Amino acid sequence: MKAKQLRIAGAILIAVSIVFLILALTSGKSAAKVTGDLEVSMQTREYIMSGVYKVYALKDRPAGIWAAKTIFENKTGAPVENLKVRYKMEGFSDWGSWHVYKRLVPTQMVVDTYYPLLSDRCAKQANRTPTELTMEYEYEDAAGEKHSDSMAKRLTMLGVREVVYRTLPLEEVHGQFQEFFANSPLTAAWVTPDDKAVGGLAALANEKALGAGASINDENCIKVMREAYEIMRTINVTYQSPGGGGGSFGDKSFDPMLVQSIQYPRDTIRKRSGTCIELAILYASMLKSQGIKPYLVMLPGHCFPIGQLPTSGSFIPVESTCVGGGGRNSQDFAQAVKIARKEWSDLLKSRQFMLVDVEKCIEMGIVPPDLEPLPEDILQRWKITDMVAGKTGTGGTPSAVRPGQWSVTLTNAQRRLTGVAQVQVQGNQVVLVFGLQYNQVDARGVNHRYEEVNRFNGTIQGKIITGQCRQAAWKIDGRQVRPTLPMNLKLQVSADGRSAQGTAGGTAGQVQVAMTWTK
């Protein structure tokens, strides 16, 4: 009986202990009284730039641009648990993943930043459109109660060609030059070396440079830079000031205080006109397409490009607006470089500029949007190839190359030879017959007399002659020998048709060719 009473007493004590434990836990929970609120405020950009939609998502890279920031401050007087935040942008971004903050102690503040993963719909955004950015959050207070709410703000999605140079609110700007150009690196997203129109035009320029490898040495690089600029003149690209009509390169072409529309290089090629920054971006795109490192120099009211030489690393600035009114109303490459050198020198003293390293920006993720694909023959459709070839309509008129006798100099690493050439021209068909006589010492030290007659049949389009030799007569000391054929020839003719230079050769090697009309 006594044992039974002890068991009952023990059970009662256990039950009482459980009750006290529950009361203790309950009283502990209620002790953390919720006396205030979780204070929430959200800041958004006024504009979202659809042209750089790929950049916004780069939250872990220097190029990332936030679209919204939400500030949470715990004013509840007790801990806040499991704060979760997420965002979406109507029509351009679905709900993102939750950002989770496990615990906010009283008075603690956190700033949550939204780097949106935007849809490629942005690349098709021709004009500005309003959209709504929504943020929703949820958390658990100290009493265990769950809360949730949301906020929404309207903002503007810019057209794909629009850029904002300043993102700081006006009240945070202190008047420093760099503050107004903070977004200058974003202009690298307008450089499109892989676009078919740009790549095709750059290839035509490289052809005019006789296939010079721009990345091989400084001399070749300058040749390609020259032809890239000159081809802009050839197709009559003109400088267009924002107010309409051509002007000098000193005219203001953009205002970094405002949203500016920048057309893509494909647009500049198609329209054959552009503002200073549009011409600079076209030129930089062509340089990049040919393996030349490009830069954009941004200064108040103006922009011009720079190409960097591969061997010396020297900068070659080019005033791309020297294309002027196109054609005869333009300045050549040498003049464009001379003007830009002076401007660059002055800027290095004043330091009032921003230098956009295009390649570095690309490495950071500042890349073009996925523009609408262009057909392979886009330059033919736009009549660009006809203009480069010197054609009008469907018929062709080659540039003047003087028929008759020419003096010839052939140079390679070992020697320099002189000779003559007879040139015959009929329409765009051309025949060049080279005659050479020279002495050469063999490996045993014996001197031999060489005679060569090489006939090249080819065509001339614009200023370019291409030909091939399949007929030749060679003699050594008066004895016939078998020539090494075929040989190929590529020449660029001067504007007056009195000189030409290029390359010739085959399996036996290649020589540099320089020709001058004599009569």
How far is it, in rounded angstroms, from Cα 237 to Cα 285? 15
Is the residue at 45 inside a domain? yes
Q: Residue 327: what pLDDT? A: 66
Q: Residue 441: what pLDDT? A: 87
The segments of the chain whose pLDDT lies below 50 read 23-25, 27-31, 244-256, 392-398
Is the residue at 507 inside a domain? yes
Q: Coil, strand, or helix at residue 270? A: helix
pLDDT tens, residue by residue, 267-323 = 999 999 999 999 999 999 999 999 999 999 998 889 999 999 999 999 999 999 999
Same domain, 134 and 56: yes
Is the residue at 450 inside a domain? yes
Is the residue at 325 inside a domain? yes
Range of the domain at 119: 38-158
Q: Residue 172: what pLDDT? A: 55
Same domain, 191 and 318: yes
DSSP conformation letters of 22-71 = HHHHHHHHHHS---S-EEEEEEE-SEE-GGGTTTTT-TTSTT---SEEEE
Task: Give CA separation, 333 vs 20, 234, 321, 411, in Å.
Answer: 93, 12, 11, 26
Q: Residue 180: what pLDDT? A: 66
CATH number of the domain residue 101 falls in: 2.60.40.10
pLDDT tens, residue by residue, 166-182 = 765 555 555 566 666 78
Task: Give CA separation, 456 vs 149, 369, 461, 471, 475, in Å.
Answer: 81, 47, 16, 8, 18
Q: Residue 368: what pLDDT? A: 95
Q: Coil, strand, or helix at residue 233? A: helix
Is the residue at 78 inside a domain? yes
Is the residue at 25 inside a domain? no
How far is it, in rounded angstroms, from Cα 480 to Cα 464? 33
Give which of 189, 130, 201, 140 is closest to 164, Cα–Cα: 189
How far is it, in rounded angstroms, from Cα 230 to Cα 463? 12
Work out how many domains the chain is built from and give that number: 3
Q: Residue 42: what pLDDT? A: 96
Same domain, 354 and 451: no
Q: Residue 279: what pLDDT? A: 97
Query: CA angle, corner 400, sides to 397 and 404, nearest 5?
Result: 125
Is the residue at 110 inside a domain? yes
Same domain, 191 and 335: yes
Same domain, 183 and 307: yes
User: Does residue 115 contact residue 55 with C-beta atoms inside 8 Å?
Assistant: no
Is the residue at 163 inside a domain? no
